[in-house]
Amino acid sequence: MKRIIKGTEPHCLLQYRQIEGANYDGYHPKEPLKRALLAEQGYICCYCMRRISEANMEIEHWQPESKYPELQINYKNLLASCSGNRGTSKSNQHCNPRKGDIEITINPADSKNCEIYIKYSSTGKIFSDNSTIDYELNEVLNLNFQTLKENRKTELDTVINALNKKFPNKTWTKEEIKKKIDEFNCKDLEGKYKPYCQHIIYYLSKRL
C-alpha cells in the first residue's frame, strides 16, 4: 500500500455536488473522476498496488457509501481500486470487492502515512505489527491472496536479479540502492508508479 496525496477534484464533480439531492449514482459521466483518481495514484490500486486503468478499476468509498451517505461524493473519500476478482467466491476476492461495506482503520489517503504501518517479507507477504491493521490487511482486504503475493515476489525478484547482475559479488552500493528507491518512489514520464512499488522500496530501504 502506497500513500496517496489527494489532488484537486474534477470541476464537474464540484459542480454536481452543489445540486440539491446530489448522490453518487446520479453523477455522470464518471470518466473524469476515474482519470483524476488514477493520475494521483499513479495508476496503481489504492490497496494492492497492481496496475489499473479506466477499463479495470472501481471507484472505492473508503468510508462506506451505505454508512456515510454524506460522504458519497466527497472527493477525499474516493479512491481508485482494482476490481479484485469481483464476481468470484469471497475467498478469491480482494481490495474493494472484498472490503465491501466494512470500515477499516488504515487509509492510504490519510495524513497519517500508511507506509509507516506496513511491512513486507521477501516472499511477498504483507503484514503489520499493529494487530488491527494486520487483521484488515489479511481478512478484510485479503492482500495476502496467493496471486498478489506471487506478483509482489516476482517484481522484487526482478529488481534483485538486475542488481545482482550489475554487482556480481552481490554487494550493492548504497548509491545504486538509493537510485533504485528513487526510481520506484517516483512516477514515470507517463505519470505511473511501477506496480507493487512500495514492496520494492521497503525491501531496498532495509539494505541501506
pLDDT digits (tens, 9 = 90+) for 117-127: 999 999 999 99
* Span 123-148, average pLDDT: 97
Which secondary structure element, helix H or strand E, spans residue 58, and what is its range?
A: strand 57-61
For residue 62, what pLDDT is reported? 97
Which cell goes with 4? Answer: 496517496
Peptide bond into 32 cis (omega under 30): no
| Rg, C-alpha atoms of the chain | 18
Residues counted in the chain: 208
Q: Residue with C-alpha cell 470500515? A: 103
- Write the CB contacts of 13 (distance below 8 Å, at least 6 apart in sequence): 27, 32, 33, 73, 75
Which secondary structure element, helix H or strand E, spans residue 82, and what is its range?
A: strand 78-82
DSSP letter string over 138-174? IIIS-TT-HHHHHHHHHHHHHHHHHHHHHSTTS---H
Q: What digits encode the pLDDT tens for the residues 73-100?
A: 999 999 999 999 999 999 999 999 999 9
Q: How many separate helices (H) and strands (E) can be counted in the chain?
A: 7, 4
Confidence of residue 106 (pLDDT cuts 50, 70, 90): very high
Helix-helix angle 174-185:146-166, to 10 degrees:
140
Which phi and psi angles does 80 have, rounded to 5°? -105, 120
Q: What digits encode the pLDDT tens for the residues 23-35?
A: 999 999 999 999 9
Confidence of residue 170 (pLDDT cuts 50, 70, 90): confident
Give percent above pLDDT 70 in the chain.
Answer: 100
Which cell goes with 176? Answer: 545504486
